[in-house]
Amino acid sequence: ANPSSDNQLARKAYVDSVAQGASWHDSCKAATTANITLSGTQTVDGISLSADDRCLVKNQSSSAENGIYLVKAGAWARAADQNAAGEFDGAAVFVTGGTVNGEHGFVCTTTVSNVGSDAVSWTQW
């Protein structure tokens, strides 16, 4: 059977079917576990982030804010590979650190036509 909960093994056929059409992006140092303020250096999922670290933001109250960001001392900026509509569809990324999300992969499961307006959802893979 296909996996239905965290930490279950997956059949190769299932993994292959999920991976089709994935658009791989550079890894992120951490990924959010809750809504955050998208400004300033901060700790996300137990990882202290510095300026220009990549962070997967996936838990915003306004899901249109979700995506891959570069951490900045001021306002965070969407990463260059996640700032246009076509860059979200099938986007896949690994997260290298974190208590909850470290060493996990995530895939964007929504189609985005208007960055900053359309809802963006990420699913652990």
For 27-65, the pLDDT digits (tens) are 999 999 999 999 999 999 999 999 999 999 999 999 999
pLDDT higher than threshold 70 for residue 19 = no
pLDDT, mean over the chain? 92
CB-CB contact of 67 with 57 (8 Å)? yes
pLDDT higher than threshold 80 for residue 100 = yes
pLDDT higher than threshold 80 for residue 11 = no
Give the mean pLDDT of 101-118: 95
Contacts of 124 (CB under 8 A, 6+ apart): 6, 101, 104, 105, 106
The model's pLDDT over 77-93, given as tens digits with 9 standing for 90+, comes to 999 999 999 899 999 99
CB-CB contact of 72 with 86 (8 Å)? no
What sign does the dihedral 19-23-28-34 (CA atoms) show? negative
pLDDT of residue 8: 78
Count of CB atoms situated within 10 Å of the CB of 10: 13
